Amino acid sequence: MSKTLVDKIADVFRPQLPLWACELTSRHVIVAGVNKQRNKVKARLATELPPQSVVGSLSETNIKNKEATGASVLEALNRAGFQGSEIAVIIPDDAVRIAFLSVENLPKDTEEQRTFICWKLKKTVPFDVDSAQMSFRFLETRTGSAVDILVTLAPLVIIREYEQLFDSLKIHAGLVTPSTLATLNMLPSPSGDTLVLKVAPDCITTSVFRHGRMQFYRRVVDVSLYDAAYPTVMYYQDKLGGTALEKLVVCGYDTENRSAVSDLEQKLGLSAHRLEPKEVEDIFKPVLGGVHCATH
Averaged over 104-112, what is the pLDDT? 88
pLDDT at 5: 40
Query: Which positions ≥6 away from 86 have C-beta within 8 Å?
Result: 18, 20, 171, 172, 173, 174
CA dist 71 and 266 (Å) reads 44
List, in order of start, the domains of the chain with CATH numbers. Answer: 1-187+276-296 (3.30.420.380), 188-274 (3.30.420.40)
Instruction: Quote the DSSP letter at residue 53.
Output: S
Averaged over 282-296, what is the pLDDT? 91
- Answer whether 27's CB lies under 8 Å from 201's CB: yes
Three-class SS of 239-250: CCCCCCCCEEEE
Phi-psi region of 39 (alpha: psi -120 to 50; beta: other; left: phi over 0): alpha
Looking at the predicted structure, is the pLDDT value of residue 9 above 60? no
How many other C-beta atoms can be found within 10 angstroms of the C-beta atom of residue 165? 21
Cis amide prior to 277 (ω within 30 degrees): yes
Better-predicted residue by pLDDT, 296 or 130: 130
CA dist 148 and 103 (Å) reads 6
Instruction: Compute the chain's Rg from CA coordinates.
Output: 19
List, for residues 59-68, the tens digit of each pLDDT value.
999 999 999 9
Q: Regarding beta strands 28-34 and 20-24, do their DSSP bridges make them parallel or antiparallel, or are they unpaired?
A: antiparallel
List, for residues 252-271, the tens digit of each pLDDT value.
866 567 889 999 999 999 99
Burial class (CB in 10 A: 0-12, 13-18, 19+), 180: buried
pLDDT at 252: 87
Averaged over 213-238, what is the pLDDT? 95
Burial class (CB in 10 A: 0-12, 13-18, 19+), 288: buried
List, for residues 37-63, the tens digit of each pLDDT value.
999 999 999 999 999 999 999 999 999
CA dist 135 and 194 (Å) reads 24
Angle between the 258-268 and 225-238 helix axes, to the nearest 10 degrees? 30
Give 64-96 as a DSSP string: S-HHHHHHHHHHHHHHHT--SSEEEEEE-GGG-
- Answer whether 30's CB lies under 8 Å from 46's CB: yes
